[in-house]
Protein backbone atom coordinates (compact mmCIF):
# COMPACT_ATOMS: atom_id res chain seq x y z
CA UNK A 1 0.00 0.00 0.00
CA UNK A 2 1.36 3.43 -0.89
CA UNK A 3 2.20 5.87 1.91
CA UNK A 4 -0.49 8.36 0.81
CA UNK A 5 -3.20 5.70 0.82
CA UNK A 6 -2.05 4.44 4.21
CA UNK A 7 -2.35 7.95 5.64
CA UNK A 8 -5.88 8.30 4.26
CA UNK A 9 -6.88 4.94 5.75
CA UNK A 10 -5.45 5.95 9.14
CA UNK A 11 -7.33 9.26 9.07
CA UNK A 12 -10.58 7.50 8.19
CA UNK A 13 -10.05 4.95 10.96
CA UNK A 14 -9.37 7.74 13.49
CA UNK A 15 -12.48 9.63 12.36
CA UNK A 16 -14.65 6.53 12.67
CA UNK A 17 -13.27 5.71 16.10
CA UNK A 18 -13.85 9.28 17.30
CA UNK A 19 -17.39 9.28 15.92
CA UNK A 20 -18.05 6.02 17.69
CA UNK A 21 -16.86 7.40 20.99
CA UNK A 22 -19.00 10.53 20.56
CA UNK A 23 -22.03 8.36 19.91
CA UNK A 24 -21.37 6.38 23.07
CA UNK A 25 -21.69 9.53 25.16
CA UNK A 26 -25.05 10.62 23.83
CA UNK A 27 -26.72 8.74 26.70
CA UNK A 28 -25.83 7.20 30.04
CA UNK A 29 -27.41 4.16 31.64
CA UNK A 30 -29.40 4.96 34.78
CA UNK A 31 -30.90 3.05 37.71
CA UNK A 32 -32.39 3.61 41.15
CA UNK A 33 -29.49 2.36 43.22
CA UNK A 34 -26.18 3.73 44.42
CA UNK A 35 -23.33 1.94 42.66
CA UNK A 36 -20.48 4.36 43.40
CA UNK A 37 -21.63 6.54 46.28
CA UNK A 38 -21.67 4.56 49.51
CA UNK A 39 -24.87 4.77 51.54
CA UNK A 40 -24.34 6.59 54.82
CA UNK A 41 -26.25 6.05 58.04
CA UNK A 42 -26.43 8.07 61.22
CA UNK A 43 -26.70 11.87 61.44
CA UNK A 44 -26.87 13.97 58.27
CA UNK A 45 -26.60 11.08 55.79
CA UNK A 46 -27.43 13.26 52.77
CA UNK A 47 -24.77 15.82 53.60
CA UNK A 48 -22.20 13.05 53.88
CA UNK A 49 -23.29 11.37 50.64
CA UNK A 50 -23.28 14.66 48.72
CA UNK A 51 -19.84 15.45 50.11
CA UNK A 52 -18.70 12.02 48.98
CA UNK A 53 -20.18 12.62 45.52
CA UNK A 54 -18.33 15.92 45.36
CA UNK A 55 -14.99 14.37 46.27
CA UNK A 56 -15.46 11.66 43.65
CA UNK A 57 -16.56 14.19 41.03
CA UNK A 58 -13.56 16.46 41.60
CA UNK A 59 -13.04 19.13 38.90
CA UNK A 60 -15.37 17.44 36.40
CA UNK A 61 -18.07 19.99 35.56
CA UNK A 62 -21.64 18.87 34.91
CA UNK A 63 -24.07 21.19 33.14
CA UNK A 64 -27.41 20.87 34.90
CA UNK A 65 -30.40 23.17 34.40
CA UNK A 66 -28.28 26.16 33.46
CA UNK A 67 -25.72 25.54 36.22
CA UNK A 68 -22.14 24.29 36.21
CA UNK A 69 -21.77 21.83 39.07
CA UNK A 70 -18.42 20.37 40.08
CA UNK A 71 -17.04 18.51 43.06
CA UNK A 72 -15.89 21.52 45.13
CA UNK A 73 -19.33 23.10 44.79
CA UNK A 74 -21.04 19.98 46.09
CA UNK A 75 -18.63 19.66 48.98
CA UNK A 76 -19.16 23.32 49.86
CA UNK A 77 -22.94 22.83 49.90
CA UNK A 78 -22.62 19.68 52.02
CA UNK A 79 -20.64 21.61 54.63
CA UNK A 80 -22.67 24.83 54.51
CA UNK A 81 -25.00 25.91 57.37
CA UNK A 82 -24.80 22.60 59.25
CA UNK A 83 -27.71 23.53 61.53
CA UNK A 84 -30.04 24.12 58.57
CA UNK A 85 -32.06 21.32 56.88
CA UNK A 86 -29.91 20.13 54.00
CA UNK A 87 -32.77 20.14 51.49
CA UNK A 88 -33.20 23.89 52.01
CA UNK A 89 -29.44 24.46 51.81
CA UNK A 90 -29.26 22.47 48.57
CA UNK A 91 -32.16 24.27 46.90
CA UNK A 92 -31.02 27.70 48.03
CA UNK A 93 -27.43 27.02 47.03
CA UNK A 94 -28.33 25.80 43.53
CA UNK A 95 -31.38 28.08 43.15
CA UNK A 96 -33.23 25.19 41.56
CA UNK A 97 -36.06 22.93 42.87
CA UNK A 98 -33.89 19.82 42.99
CA UNK A 99 -35.18 16.47 44.19
CA UNK A 100 -32.55 15.51 46.78
CA UNK A 101 -32.88 11.74 46.24
CA UNK A 102 -33.07 11.76 42.46
CA UNK A 103 -30.19 14.20 42.09
CA UNK A 104 -28.07 11.85 44.18
CA UNK A 105 -28.99 8.95 41.88
CA UNK A 106 -28.09 11.16 38.90
CA UNK A 107 -24.68 11.97 40.36
CA UNK A 108 -24.06 8.30 41.11
CA UNK A 109 -24.94 7.23 37.56
CA UNK A 110 -22.69 9.93 36.10
CA UNK A 111 -19.84 8.75 38.31
CA UNK A 112 -20.45 5.14 37.25
CA UNK A 113 -20.42 6.20 33.58
CA UNK A 114 -17.20 8.07 34.34
CA UNK A 115 -15.56 4.77 35.25
CA UNK A 116 -16.57 3.45 31.84
CA UNK A 117 -15.06 6.25 29.76
CA UNK A 118 -17.27 9.29 30.34
CA UNK A 119 -14.89 10.98 32.79
CA UNK A 120 -14.35 14.70 31.94
CA UNK A 121 -16.66 14.40 28.93
CA UNK A 122 -19.53 16.80 28.40
CA UNK A 123 -22.62 16.04 30.47
CA UNK A 124 -25.42 18.44 29.57
CA UNK A 125 -28.89 18.13 31.12
CA UNK A 126 -31.10 21.18 30.47
CA UNK A 127 -34.00 22.11 32.75
CA UNK A 128 -36.72 20.42 30.73
CA UNK A 129 -34.80 17.16 30.52
CA UNK A 130 -33.98 17.36 34.23
CA UNK A 131 -37.66 17.81 35.16
CA UNK A 132 -38.73 14.93 32.95
CA UNK A 133 -36.11 12.67 34.57
CA UNK A 134 -37.01 13.69 38.13
CA UNK A 135 -33.79 15.55 39.00
CA UNK A 136 -35.83 18.73 39.30
CA UNK A 137 -39.32 18.75 40.79
CA UNK A 138 -41.86 18.14 38.02
CA UNK A 139 -45.41 19.59 37.99
CA UNK A 140 -46.68 16.02 38.40
CA UNK A 141 -44.90 15.86 41.77
CA UNK A 142 -46.93 18.85 42.96
CA UNK A 143 -50.27 18.58 41.19
CA UNK A 144 -50.67 14.83 40.61
CA UNK A 145 -50.71 12.89 43.89
CA UNK A 146 -50.28 9.50 42.23
CA UNK A 147 -47.85 10.43 39.45
CA UNK A 148 -44.52 11.53 40.93
CA UNK A 149 -41.55 11.66 38.59
CA UNK A 150 -38.91 9.27 39.89
CA UNK A 151 -35.39 8.81 38.58
CA UNK A 152 -35.07 5.75 36.32
CA UNK A 153 -38.69 4.72 36.90
CA UNK A 154 -39.85 5.32 33.31
CA UNK A 155 -36.57 4.96 31.45
CA UNK A 156 -33.23 3.22 31.66
CA UNK A 157 -31.07 5.85 30.03
CA UNK A 158 -30.67 9.63 30.06
CA UNK A 159 -29.61 11.84 27.16
CA UNK A 160 -26.59 13.92 28.13
CA UNK A 161 -25.76 15.62 24.82
CA UNK A 162 -26.01 19.38 24.50
CA UNK A 163 -29.07 20.46 22.49
CA UNK A 164 -28.35 22.56 19.44
CA UNK A 165 -28.75 26.29 20.02
CA UNK A 166 -31.32 27.88 17.78
CA UNK A 167 -29.10 30.91 17.29
CA UNK A 168 -26.50 28.65 15.61
CA UNK A 169 -28.90 27.01 13.15
CA UNK A 170 -30.00 27.75 9.61
CA UNK A 171 -33.75 27.43 8.93
CA UNK A 172 -34.91 24.14 7.43
CA UNK A 173 -35.78 24.14 3.75
CA UNK A 174 -38.83 22.63 2.06
CA UNK A 175 -38.65 18.85 2.15
CA UNK A 176 -36.02 18.63 4.88
CA UNK A 177 -36.16 15.83 7.42
CA UNK A 178 -37.29 16.50 10.97
CA UNK A 179 -34.53 17.84 13.18
CA UNK A 180 -33.25 20.90 15.05
CA UNK A 181 -33.17 23.14 11.94
CA UNK A 182 -36.97 23.20 11.94
CA UNK A 183 -36.88 25.10 15.23
CA UNK A 184 -35.77 28.24 13.36
CA UNK A 185 -38.06 27.92 10.34
CA UNK A 186 -40.95 29.67 12.13
CA UNK A 187 -39.21 31.76 14.74
CA UNK A 188 -40.49 33.23 17.95
CA UNK A 189 -39.50 36.84 18.74
CA UNK A 190 -35.95 36.71 20.15
CA UNK A 191 -35.22 38.31 23.50
CA UNK A 192 -37.48 39.56 26.25
CA UNK A 193 -38.06 43.05 24.81
CA UNK A 194 -39.05 41.69 21.42
CA UNK A 195 -41.37 39.13 23.04
CA UNK A 196 -43.11 41.77 25.13
CA UNK A 197 -43.43 44.08 22.11
CA UNK A 198 -45.01 41.28 20.08
CA UNK A 199 -47.43 40.53 22.91
CA UNK A 200 -48.38 44.19 23.28
CA UNK A 201 -49.08 44.37 19.54
CA UNK A 202 -51.46 41.41 19.22
CA UNK A 203 -52.91 40.73 22.69
CA UNK A 204 -56.69 41.35 22.90
CA UNK A 205 -56.17 42.74 26.42
CA UNK A 206 -54.64 46.23 26.77
CA UNK A 207 -53.27 45.24 30.20
CA UNK A 208 -51.91 41.72 29.70
CA UNK A 209 -48.37 42.84 28.86
CA UNK A 210 -48.30 45.24 31.81
CA UNK A 211 -49.50 42.56 34.21
CA UNK A 212 -46.84 40.13 32.99
CA UNK A 213 -44.13 42.79 33.29
CA UNK A 214 -45.29 43.76 36.77
CA UNK A 215 -45.08 40.20 38.11
CA UNK A 216 -41.67 39.57 36.54
CA UNK A 217 -40.27 42.88 37.79
CA UNK A 218 -41.43 42.34 41.36
CA UNK A 219 -39.95 38.85 41.50
CA UNK A 220 -36.65 40.02 40.00
CA UNK A 221 -36.37 42.90 42.45
CA UNK A 222 -36.55 40.36 45.27
CA UNK A 223 -33.76 38.24 43.84
CA UNK A 224 -35.60 35.63 41.77
CA UNK A 225 -34.25 34.33 38.47
CA UNK A 226 -37.04 35.15 36.02
CA UNK A 227 -37.41 34.11 32.37
CA UNK A 228 -39.99 35.00 29.75
CA UNK A 229 -39.61 32.12 27.34
CA UNK A 230 -42.49 32.66 24.91
CA UNK A 231 -45.28 35.12 24.22
CA UNK A 232 -46.71 35.09 20.68
CA UNK A 233 -46.18 31.84 18.79
CA UNK A 234 -46.62 30.93 15.13
CA UNK A 235 -49.19 28.16 14.51
CA UNK A 236 -46.74 26.23 12.36
CA UNK A 237 -44.24 26.27 15.21
CA UNK A 238 -46.84 24.94 17.63
CA UNK A 239 -47.59 22.04 15.29
CA UNK A 240 -43.89 21.21 14.93
CA UNK A 241 -43.30 21.36 18.69
CA UNK A 242 -46.11 18.94 19.40
CA UNK A 243 -45.10 16.69 16.50
CA UNK A 244 -41.50 16.21 17.58
CA UNK A 245 -42.51 15.84 21.24
CA UNK A 246 -45.04 13.13 20.37
CA UNK A 247 -42.63 11.26 18.08
CA UNK A 248 -39.81 11.44 20.62
CA UNK A 249 -41.92 9.37 23.00
CA UNK A 250 -42.73 6.53 20.59
CA UNK A 251 -41.23 3.14 21.38
CA UNK A 252 -42.07 0.90 18.42
CA UNK A 253 -42.11 0.94 14.65
CA UNK A 254 -45.90 0.60 14.60
CA UNK A 255 -46.35 3.51 16.99
CA UNK A 256 -44.00 5.73 14.98
CA UNK A 257 -45.77 4.88 11.71
CA UNK A 258 -49.15 5.76 13.20
CA UNK A 259 -47.83 9.02 14.65
CA UNK A 260 -46.32 10.08 11.32
CA UNK A 261 -49.57 9.34 9.48
CA UNK A 262 -51.50 11.42 12.01
CA UNK A 263 -49.06 14.32 11.72
CA UNK A 264 -49.27 14.28 7.93
CA UNK A 265 -53.06 14.16 8.05
CA UNK A 266 -53.39 17.05 10.51
CA UNK A 267 -50.77 19.09 8.66
CA UNK A 268 -53.21 19.21 5.75
CA UNK A 269 -56.47 19.34 7.72
CA UNK A 270 -55.29 22.27 9.82
CA UNK A 271 -54.30 24.19 6.69
CA UNK A 272 -50.64 24.41 7.67
CA UNK A 273 -48.89 22.41 4.95
CA UNK A 274 -45.53 22.55 6.71
CA UNK A 275 -43.09 21.03 4.17
CA UNK A 276 -41.41 18.66 6.62
CA UNK A 277 -40.57 14.99 6.19
CA UNK A 278 -41.45 13.33 9.48
CA UNK A 279 -40.13 9.82 8.77
CA UNK A 280 -36.37 9.31 8.69
CA UNK A 281 -35.16 7.08 5.84
CA UNK A 282 -32.96 5.27 8.35
CA UNK A 283 -36.02 3.80 10.06
CA UNK A 284 -38.21 4.35 13.06
CA UNK A 285 -35.44 4.48 15.66
CA UNK A 286 -33.64 7.26 13.78
CA UNK A 287 -37.00 9.03 13.46
CA UNK A 288 -37.41 8.93 17.25
CA UNK A 289 -33.84 10.14 17.83
CA UNK A 290 -34.22 13.01 15.35
CA UNK A 291 -37.51 13.96 17.03
CA UNK A 292 -35.79 13.86 20.43
CA UNK A 293 -33.06 16.22 19.26
CA UNK A 294 -35.65 18.55 17.73
CA UNK A 295 -37.72 18.56 20.94
CA UNK A 296 -34.59 19.22 23.00
CA UNK A 297 -33.74 22.24 20.85
CA UNK A 298 -37.26 23.56 21.40
CA UNK A 299 -36.85 22.53 25.08
CA UNK A 300 -40.39 21.17 25.02
CA UNK A 301 -41.30 18.62 27.68
CA UNK A 302 -45.08 18.87 27.52
CA UNK A 303 -47.29 19.29 24.46
CA UNK A 304 -50.75 18.14 23.43
CA UNK A 305 -52.71 17.85 20.22
CA UNK A 306 -55.33 20.32 21.45
CA UNK A 307 -52.61 22.77 22.45
CA UNK A 308 -51.00 22.50 19.02
CA UNK A 309 -54.37 23.14 17.38
CA UNK A 310 -55.69 25.95 19.55
CA UNK A 311 -52.89 27.36 21.71
CA UNK A 312 -53.67 30.74 23.18
CA UNK A 313 -50.12 31.74 22.30
CA UNK A 314 -51.31 32.14 18.72
CA UNK A 315 -53.60 35.07 19.59
CA UNK A 316 -51.38 36.71 22.19
CA UNK A 317 -53.39 35.40 25.14
CA UNK A 318 -50.67 33.33 26.85
CA UNK A 319 -47.06 33.47 27.96
CA UNK A 320 -44.48 30.93 29.05
CA UNK A 321 -42.84 32.42 32.12
CA UNK A 322 -40.83 30.97 35.00
CA UNK A 323 -39.21 32.19 38.21
CA UNK A 324 -36.79 30.10 40.29
CA UNK A 325 -34.54 30.81 43.24
CA UNK A 326 -37.21 32.84 44.98
CA UNK A 327 -36.35 34.17 48.46
CA UNK A 328 -37.73 32.85 51.72
CA UNK A 329 -40.33 35.60 51.77
CA UNK A 330 -41.97 37.06 48.68
CA UNK A 331 -44.15 40.15 48.72
CA UNK A 332 -46.43 40.88 45.78
CA UNK A 333 -48.63 43.85 44.92
CA UNK A 334 -51.30 43.03 42.35
CA UNK A 335 -52.76 45.32 39.70
CA UNK A 336 -56.07 45.35 41.63
CA UNK A 337 -54.28 46.74 44.70
CA UNK A 338 -54.17 43.50 46.69
CA UNK A 339 -50.95 42.83 48.63
CA UNK A 340 -49.63 39.67 50.21
CA UNK A 341 -46.40 38.32 51.66
CA UNK A 342 -45.74 34.62 51.13
CA UNK A 343 -43.61 32.61 53.54
CA UNK A 344 -41.55 30.16 51.44
CA UNK A 345 -39.04 29.32 54.15
CA UNK A 346 -40.12 25.72 54.78
CA UNK A 347 -37.36 23.30 53.70
CA UNK A 348 -39.65 21.52 51.25
CA UNK A 349 -40.63 24.70 49.41
CA UNK A 350 -39.47 24.53 45.80
CA UNK A 351 -38.99 28.32 45.60
CA UNK A 352 -40.28 27.98 42.04
CA UNK A 353 -43.25 30.05 40.88
CA UNK A 354 -44.64 27.29 38.66
CA UNK A 355 -44.54 24.75 41.50
CA UNK A 356 -45.94 26.80 44.41
CA UNK A 357 -49.72 26.27 44.66
CA UNK A 358 -50.47 29.03 47.20
CA UNK A 359 -48.61 31.57 45.09
CA UNK A 360 -50.23 30.39 41.86
CA UNK A 361 -53.72 30.61 43.33
CA UNK A 362 -53.20 34.19 44.49
CA UNK A 363 -51.60 35.32 41.21
CA UNK A 364 -54.46 33.76 39.25
CA UNK A 365 -57.03 35.68 41.28
CA UNK A 366 -55.33 39.06 41.45
CA UNK A 367 -53.29 39.23 38.22
CA UNK A 368 -56.08 37.64 36.13
CA UNK A 369 -53.91 34.77 34.93
CA UNK A 370 -54.59 31.04 34.65
CA UNK A 371 -51.73 28.63 35.30
CA UNK A 372 -51.82 25.40 33.32
CA UNK A 373 -50.58 23.11 36.09
CA UNK A 374 -49.15 20.32 33.92
CA UNK A 375 -47.48 22.73 31.47
CA UNK A 376 -44.57 23.98 33.56
CA UNK A 377 -44.22 27.58 32.34
CA UNK A 378 -47.61 28.28 30.69
CA UNK A 379 -49.93 31.08 31.87
CA UNK A 380 -53.15 32.18 30.13
CA UNK A 381 -54.73 35.61 30.29
CA UNK A 382 -58.19 35.54 31.91
CA UNK A 383 -59.07 39.23 31.78
CA UNK A 384 -62.85 39.65 31.30
CA UNK A 385 -64.03 40.46 27.81
CA UNK A 386 -65.04 44.00 28.71
CA UNK A 387 -61.47 44.67 29.83
CA UNK A 388 -60.08 43.10 26.68
CA UNK A 389 -61.21 45.86 24.33
CA UNK A 390 -58.56 48.23 23.10
Question: Residue 40: what pLDDT?
Answer: 83
Question: Residue 147: what pLDDT?
Answer: 79
> Pick from 198, 39, 28: which is nearest to 124 by CA?
28
What span, in angstroms and rounded, lies between the C-alpha atoms of 111 and 319?
38
Taking the model in full, what pTM does it have? 0.87
What dotted CATH number matches 203-233+311-387? Answer: 3.30.1380
Question: Residue 46: what pLDDT?
Answer: 96
Question: Residue 301: what pLDDT?
Answer: 81
Question: Residue 25: what pLDDT?
Answer: 72
Kindly list the averaged pLDDT for each block of 10 residues, start to end, along the chain of length 390: 43 38 71 94 93 97 96 98 96 97 98 94 95 94 86 92 94 97 94 96 94 98 97 96 96 96 97 97 97 94 92 95 97 97 97 97 97 94 62
Question: Residue 270: what pLDDT?
Answer: 97
Question: Residue 385: what pLDDT?
Answer: 52
Q: Where are the domains of the chain?
A: 17-159, 166-186+235-292, 203-233+311-387
Amino acid sequence: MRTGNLIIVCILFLFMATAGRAGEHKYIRINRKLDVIKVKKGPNPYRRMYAQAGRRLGPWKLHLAGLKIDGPRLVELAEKAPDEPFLRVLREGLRRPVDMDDMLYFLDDVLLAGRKGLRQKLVWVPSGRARAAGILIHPDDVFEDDKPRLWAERRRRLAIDRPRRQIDLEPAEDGDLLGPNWTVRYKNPFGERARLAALEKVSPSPTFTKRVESLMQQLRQQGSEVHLWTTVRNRHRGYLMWGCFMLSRRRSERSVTRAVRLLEKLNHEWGLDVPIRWYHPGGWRKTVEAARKMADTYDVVFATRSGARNSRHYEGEAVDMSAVGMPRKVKLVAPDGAEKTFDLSHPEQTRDLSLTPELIDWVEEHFLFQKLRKDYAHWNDTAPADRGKK
